[in-house]
Chain A
């Protein structure tokens, strides 16, 4: 596609429920990143994919968070047993990974609200 696409745009869920957030990167981009942005804060790194593998998961805040990527394309971020502190915008980015300093292209994010 023309850009990074994320769905849903907004998600409201009840505490304790599981949620899945989807990211469609730019076609051909091998690197994919997930970030979390709490209200009024900067972006916190969650996880990075190179192809379908995740060499850096260091930002996942707890074992309730997991992510996968298939076909070197779509990625899904899953949050189990959601808590109110999980409320945030979840942003996905991709890059062509041609070398150091490669530009990241971001989607518009999913606004997650946990009631």
Chain B
């Protein structure tokens, strides 16, 4: 079974600054996908970024980038130029490399962006 651990229950960052959210996971799979989802107060889960484990290059999406360390089973999210709209819960998630595989989530990190 897979497990995902987010060790930072809460984080705070000032607007325009950079923040890094941590995630570690445990799996015996050699190929898989990793995701970061954002959950604002509306409750809807929004995909932030996706990483394929067999790709060594770290994924980037505008202000969001990841640091994927496969050997260490670490998958951190860096948010640059933080904006007030980034305030939300952030969940790290794991998916096996097979069709229609379910997501296994961490417990989340609450990010507060302040003025």
Contact = CB atoms under 8 A, between A and B. Distances in A.
A27 B22 CA distance: 35
A101 B100 contact: no
Given A48-B102, A95-B100, A101 B91 contact: no
B97 A91 contact: no
Interface in B84-113: 91, 95-108
Interface stretch (A16-24, A37-45, A67-75, A79-87): A37-45
Contacts of A42: 4, 6, 91, 105-108
B45 interface: yes
A26 interface: no
Nearest to B42: A108
Interface residues of A, number: 28
Nearest to A46: B102
A33 B103 CA distance: 9
* Candidate in A41, A42, A45, A107 with the most chain B CB atoms within 10 angstroms: A42
Given A91-B45, A106-B44, A108-B44, A99 B91 contact: no
Contacts of B100: 30-31, 48, 50, 95, 97, 102
B102 A33 contact: yes
Interface of A: 30-31, 33, 40-45, 48, 50, 56, 89, 91, 93, 95, 97, 99-104, 106-109, 111
Interface of B: 4, 6, 33, 42-47, 50, 52, 91, 95-108
Closest 8 CB pairs of A and B: A106-B45, A42-B105, A101-B33, A31-B100, A43-B105, A42-B107, A108-B44, A109-B43
